[in-house]
C-alpha cells in the first residue's frame, strides 16, 4: 500500500539549487588570486617580458650578434650622465651598445629568452622527476618509501651547485646539459612535497567515503587526489622557476654557462660588471630586467600560496 507521493519538504529549494552554479575549488582559487594586487601586477609584467622575449627579433632592427665597431660601449641618446665615452647619435639602440658595439636592447631580450627557457625546461625536468618519485614513494609506502626518502636526504646534504659546475667543466659547457643538470638538482624538494601530500591524502576520510560510495580508483585519483596535490606543486613550481633562472645566471656569470655569441642575463651582468666604470648601462639594464622577473615570480608564488592554501580561508 504505497503512500501517495508527497512533495519533498524542500522541493522548492532544491529546484533553486539546480540553477545555481557551484563554485569549484579552482574558481575560488582564481578569484582569490585575482584579488591579490601584487600577484596580478606580477603576472602582467611577466606576460609583457615573456611576449617581448618571444617576439625579440621583430622588436629591434639589429641582430643580437651584429658587431658594430663604430659604436663601442655607447650610451643611449637619452642617458642622463654627462661624461660618457661615446653616445649613440640618434634614437636607435634604446639601451645603448656593449663593448663590441652590439645592441644591448636585443641582447637583453635574448637573455630573457635563455633565462625563461631555462626556467621552463629545467622546472619541467624537476617536476617530472619529483612528481613521479614522490608519488611512487607516497603511494607504495612502507620499506620502499623509507629507502627512497633516505636517498633524498643524502642528496639534500650535497652542495649540488658544485656538481653542476663539475658537469659543466667535464662536458664543456653543453647548453642542453645545463638545462637538465639544473632540473636534476631541483627535484628533491618537489619529491618531498608530493610524497607528503600523497601520504596524507591517501588516509583522508573523503577518500574512504568515495571508495565506500563505489567511486572507481581512477575517478578518485582524478577528482580527489590530483586537485589536492596540484595546489602545493603549482606553488612550488612558481618558486622553482626563479631559483632555476638564478642558478643559470650564476653559472653564466662565472663563465660556465651560456657561451658567446649567445647570451643570458648572467652573461650580460658579468660583462656589465666588468665595464661598469665606463658604461654602467651595460650592467643596469640586464640587472633590472632580471630583478623584476624574479620579483614577479615571487609575487605570483606568494599569491598562489594564499589562493590555493585551504587553511587560510
Partner 1 sequence: MAAALDKVGAPKGNDAGRGPREPVVAMLSYAIRRILGAIPTLFVIVTLAFFMMRVAPGGPFDGERRLPPEIEKNIAAAYNLDKPLYEQYGIYLGRLLQGDFGPSFKSKDFTVTELIASGLPVSLRLGLSAIAAAFLIGTTLGIFAALHQNRTADYSAMTIAMVGITIPTFVTAPLLTLFFGVYGVNLFGYEISLPVGGWDGGKIENMILPVTVLALPQIAIISRLVRGSMVEVLRSNYVRTARAKGVPSYLVVVRHALRSGLLPLVSYLGPAIAALATGSLVVEQIFGLPGIGRYFIQGALNRDYTLVLGVVIFYASFIIVLNMVADILYRVLDPRVRYD
Per CB under 8 A, 255 contacts partner 1: yes
d(CA 188, CA 134): 9
CB of 175 to partner 1, least distance (A): 16
Binding partner 1 (rule: CB under 8 A), the pick from 240, 272, 300, 305 is 272
Of the candidates 113, 162, 255, 297, the one whose C-alpha atom is nearest the C-alpha of residue 269 is: 255
Classify the phi-psi angles of 73: left when phi > 0, otherwise alpha if psi is within -120 to 50, otherwise beta: left
The answer to whether the peptide bond before residue 294 is cis (omega within 30 degrees of 0) is no
- State which H helix or E strand residue 161 sits in: helix 160-170
Among 99-107, 110-118, 185-193, 276-284, the segment contacting partner 1 (CB under 8 A):
276-284
CB of 157 to partner 1, least distance (A): 5
| 8 Å CB contact between 289 and 111 | yes
Per CB under 8 A, 167 contacts partner 1: yes
Per CB under 8 A, 266 contacts partner 1: yes
d(CA 207, CA 110): 48
Per CB under 8 A, 287 contacts partner 1: yes
Binding partner 1 (rule: CB under 8 A), the pick from 25, 48, 128, 254 is 254
Cell, residue 69: 665597431
Per CB under 8 A, 154 contacts partner 1: yes
The nearer residue to partner 1, 139 or 163, going by C-beta atoms, is 163
Classify the phi-psi angles of 258: left when phi > 0, otherwise alpha if psi is within -120 to 50, otherwise beta: beta
Residue 97 pairs in a beta bridge with 103
Binding partner 1 (rule: CB under 8 A), the pick from 161, 209, 221, 226 is 161
CB of 272 to partner 1, least distance (A): 7
Residues 93-132: x where in contact with partner 1 by CB under 8 A, - otherwise, as a string? ----------------------------------------
Q: How far is CA 56 from CA 27, 282, 290, 292, in A?
A: 34, 18, 16, 18
Binding partner 1 (rule: CB under 8 A), the pick from 19, 82, 260, 277 is 277
HSE-up (13 A, CA, CB side) for residue 198: 21
d(CA 266, CA 66): 20
Binding partner 1 (rule: CB under 8 A), the pick from 78, 171, 175, 206 is 171
CB of 17 to partner 1, least distance (A): 39
Q: How far is CA 267 from CA 60, 98, 129, in A?
A: 20, 12, 29
Among 18-26, 87-95, 130-138, 251-259, the segment contacting partner 1 (CB under 8 A):
251-259
Binding partner 1 (rule: CB under 8 A), the pick from 250, 261, 306, 309 is 250
Per CB under 8 A, 295 contacts partner 1: yes
In the complex, which residues of this chain contact partner 1 (CB under 8 A)? 154, 157-159, 161-163, 165-172, 242, 246, 249-250, 253-256, 266, 269-270, 272-273, 276-277, 280, 283, 287, 290-291, 294-295, 298
Amino acid at each position: 500500500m504505497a503512500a501517495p507521493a508527497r512533495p519533498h519538504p524542500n522541493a522548492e529549494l532544491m529546484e533553486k539549487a539546480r540553477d545555481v552554479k557551484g563554485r569549484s575549488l579552482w574558481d575560488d582559487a582564481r578569484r582569490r588570486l585575482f584579488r591579490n594586487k601584487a600577484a596580478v601586477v606580477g603576472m602582467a609584467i611577466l606576460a609583457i617580458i615573456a611576449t617581448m622575449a618571444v617576439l625579440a627579433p621583430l622588436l629591434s632592427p639589429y641582430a643580437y650578434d651584429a658587431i658594430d665597431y663604430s659604436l663601442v660601449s655607447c650610451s643611449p641618446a637619452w642617458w642622463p650622465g654627462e661624461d660618457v665615452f661615446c653616445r649613440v647619435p640618434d634614437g636607435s639602440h634604446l639601451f645603448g651598445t656593449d663593448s663590441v658595439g652590439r645592441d644591448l636592447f636585443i641582447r637583453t631580450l635574448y637573455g630573457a629568452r635563455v633565462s625563461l627557457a631555462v626556467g621552463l625546461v629545467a622546472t619541467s625536468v624537476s617536476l617530472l622527476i619529483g612528481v613521479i618519485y614522490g608519488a611512487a614513494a607516497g603511494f607504495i609506502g612502507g620499506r620502499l618509501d623509507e629507502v627512497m626518502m633516505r636517498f633524498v636526504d643524502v642528496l639534500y646534504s650535497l652542495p649540488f651547485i658544485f656538481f653542476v659546475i663539475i658537469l659543466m667543466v667535464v662536458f664543456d659547457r653543453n647548453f642542453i646539459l645545463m638545462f637538465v643538470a639544473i632540473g636534476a638538482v631541483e627535484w628533491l624538494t618537489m619529491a618531498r612535497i608530493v610524497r607528503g601530500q600523497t601520504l596524507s591524502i591517501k588516509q583522508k576520510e573523503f577518500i574512504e567515503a568515495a571508495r565506500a560510495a563505489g567511486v572507481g580508483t581512477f575517478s578518485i585519483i582524478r577528482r580527489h587526489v590530483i586537485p589536492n596535490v596540484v595546489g602545493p606543486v603549482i606553488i612550488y613550481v612558481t618558486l622553482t622557476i626563479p631559483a632555476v633562472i638564478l642558478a643559470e645566471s650564476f653559472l653564466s656569470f662565472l663563465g660556465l654557462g651560456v657561451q658567446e655569441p649567445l647570451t643570458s642575463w648572467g652573461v650580460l651582468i658579468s660583462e656589465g660588471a666588468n665595464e661598469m666604470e665606463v658604461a654602467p648601462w651595460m650592467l643596469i639594464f640586464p640587472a633590472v630586467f632580471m630583478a623584476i622577473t624574479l620579483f614577479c615570480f615571487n609575487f605570483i608564488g606568494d599569491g598562489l600560496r594564499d589562493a590555493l592554501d585551504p587553511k587560510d580561508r
